[in-house]
Chain A
């Protein structure tokens, strides 16, 4: 037993379509230590949301987990029945959803939406205990108690998102998957919600996977960063090291395209477009756009290799 609360081993999630198989997650191996803050970053369509959903086994048909294991505290979630998985959700691993605008039931009061999850997993709790917990949870996310009796349409975007965060932490799970929790919010509210999540993390000690495409947010929050491209991981490492010395060409281009406030220059992007997950290029899926591609890159898929202590990269460049 190592200190990893979550271990993803060679996860494959495919969506069969008439035109072929969409390989949203194509062999991802990732570890999450207890209490760690991991950031999973990538462009739109790289499969990170599918990653998030698959951790909760919420992939909708026709998509399915084709292979690999997801070990939560050493237990393989891919083998769970629907009912066993249902019992795990919220209590051991929870989700902070992307669009809080519509994630709350419009006809239920906030209090009941926080309580029903708790009551389902902890039926022994009394009415009073449930109420107390709701109160505590709201305090933790910085919402006032009056919110309990309100309906979602009476709340602002930021408040709704905090309610979603409150729901996610209500049973003190071990892992919290935050799927782009602030994408729908404006910058100021974004900062506030992220700060709330940070404070929470201090107090609760849950491991958090923050999924997103905003490098700035990652820099603010994550301890370790995993970079995803077209269904595969290309680089994983401690965040400062990745930022200051990215090893994978994609990460390098990604970081250099982030505009800096104190430098003037022209915008640099990454030439080419992201491949369709239906038709992933052979070998390394980044090679058509990679300025440092070699011949071997179009032939063999590079595996994630530890090139430096705790620095994992999937690239043929570093090979001899």
Chain B
């Protein structure tokens, strides 16, 4: 048991990026539920406090023009935003796995179509496409709906990555051996290909989460987000709407920015760490 634990820890020690990234994200995720134990969530509702107050002992992050205590707003909103990211990332990865495998394994016209679609969508200004979609889906948007909408743009990179890995692996010897041994297609996929693809799957997931969060914040800042939820993007939207910058209410839009930057840095570190695992050549020689 101890040996197994040591075996699990030592690669982590050689991969400080992965660990740091995971720690950052973990803190951000836990911050919400833990914070809620200490802070009164009702403070996040409109009109509970005197508006436009700078940070003080009573209101550590100040209040906004709606009279909301910004500390619980941040604590409530951060997990929401991350949840959108995780959901859209999961959907994007799921779709990406299916399409990537189909494209790589089946090849031919199907491959061309899938690859072409992914390539075209990658070059199109994604946010604008999402605007068009979101504006059509009128009405109250929930956090879950945001995730679904945003995931429309989350599948391309996972599809491309998985497709290219499947193409590489398909030609490798062990697949041929498996075929010779009488294994059928789906068996080969599950038993032989998936274990080799795990680092790429993980890395694609992280990328999808990052792009999901980015897209959702963009949509929300433009006003197309869940109006009643205090997600990070919505906070920024309200801050812009009420010209918080011009009025010097830096505590309103400052913390969301810090949290967003931390989130992206954390995700980036995780993805760099995963890259190191997937591609041993990137490991440091010292």
Contact = CB atoms under 8 A, between A and B. Distances in A.
Interface of A: 17-18
A16 to B, nearest CB: 11
A17 B285 CA distance: 8
B286 interface: yes
| Main secondary structure on B side of the interface with A | loop
What 3 A-B pairs are tightest by C-beta distance, nearest first? A18-B286, A18-B285, A17-B285
A17 B286 CA distance: 8
Nearest to A17: B285
Contacts of A18: 285-286
B118 to A, nearest CB: 29
Interface residues of B, number: 2
3 contacts: A17-B285, A18-B285, A18-B286
A18 B285 CA distance: 8
A18 B286 CA distance: 6
B24 to A, nearest CB: 29
Interface string B257-286: 000000000000000000000000000011
B202 to A, nearest CB: 28
Contacts of B285: 17-18
A18 B284 CA distance: 11
A181 to B, nearest CB: 28
Interface in B82-128: none
Contacts of B286: 18
A18 B283 CA distance: 13
B155 to A, nearest CB: 35
B17 to A, nearest CB: 20
A242 to B, nearest CB: 39
A32 B286 CA distance: 39
Contacts of A17: 285
A6 B285 CA distance: 36
B281 to A, nearest CB: 15
Nearest to B285: A18
